[in-house]
Structure 1
Amino acid sequence: MNNKKFIDCTKQFSELDSAVCELILTAISARKFAYVPYSNFPVGAALRTKCGKVFSGCNVENAAFTPGACAERTAICKAISEGYKEFESCAVVAYQKDTLTPPCGVCRQFLIEFAVEDFPVYVARAEDPPSDVLCTSVYNLLPNGFRCYK
């Protein structure tokens, strides 16, 4: 993974380009399908592949907790299962009144597994329309993450 390529910043949704807005809105739509009977905390994610295809996912909980799947991992697994392994951007949305919700540690490691190079990650509240968006990157979320290079 190349070194830090993106600078963390917060932007207004209205300042973002249309491709980023589409990715965030796709994540918001995916969040509606979340299965969260235990935490009642729905999360949505969307990833854009290098060829422009978008895959979305939501979190899916389980009574045993450990076998649950986060939205980011669901989206990645959907893409991988259809033959896509290179990503250019990711959006993650959840709703907490006073803060943004970035990917958990497991999802950060999962993202970096498929990051041939650093790519942007956009974190927003699931609002209509979203307001503040954290613009960060895979590397910024998990600097020096574990990688098995070939």
Structure 2
Amino acid sequence: MSLLDAARQVRENAYAPYSKFKVGAAVRGASGTIYRGVNVENVAYPEGTCAEAGAIAAMIAAGETEITEVAVIADCPSPVPPCGGCRQKLAEFARHDAPVTLATTDGERLDTSVGALLPGRFDISHMDNV
């Protein structure tokens, strides 16, 4: 199964009763294992979670800490990018050149990278005193 297929499949499990905007995400760990996540809304906005954060949490829970590839899919007119917070979360665990596929359920896709999504990212080098 491709990473995008994994994201497409898990998207159906998203909990989005308020916005009706279901998002599926999948990340591949360094081991090759695919971890999936969906957006989970909450009536107390903005207490929900993003699909990318869910996939990252699943990867960390499984004991991995490196993302080698990302896929995100939603039913929208153009490929949906991760929010700013998720861009930083992806950058925490992926190299700047890690491939990212953003897609729509109609088949449109945009291939990019973690570094292109978050140029000038904040990282450990900024914490010189640590």
With the length of structure 1 as denominator, give the TM-score of the two structures: 0.79
Measure, in 1, the Cα distance between the counterparts of 2:97 and 2:45.
30
Answer yes or no: is 1:64 the counterpart of 2:44.
Answer: yes
Partner residue in 2 for 1:14: none
Unaligned 5+ residue runs, structure 1? 1-18
Measure, in 2, the Cα distance between the counterparts of 1:62 and 1:118.
33
Deviation string, structure 1 residues 109-137 (Cα, Å, up to 9, x no partner): 1101112453010001124xx2x321100
Answer yes or no: is 1:46 the counterpart of 2:26.
Answer: yes
Measure, in 2, the Cα distance between the counterparts of 1:148 and 1:33.
35
Q: Identity of counterpart residues, as a percentage?
A: 44
SS in 2 for 1:124: strand
Q: What RMSD, in angstroms, separates the aligned Cα atoms of the two structures? A: 1.4
With the length of structure 2 as denominator, give the TM-score of the two structures: 0.91
Q: How many residues align?
A: 126
SS in 2 for 1:47: strand
Partner residue in 2 for 1:123: 102
Work out which of the residue numbers 56, 62, 67 in structure 2 matches 1:87. 67
The structure whose RCO (Cα within 8 Å, separation 6+) is larger is: 1
Shifted more, 50-59 versus 111-120: the winner is 111-120
Tell me the amino acid that sits aligned with residue 102 of structure 1: P
Partner residue in 1 for 2:109: 133
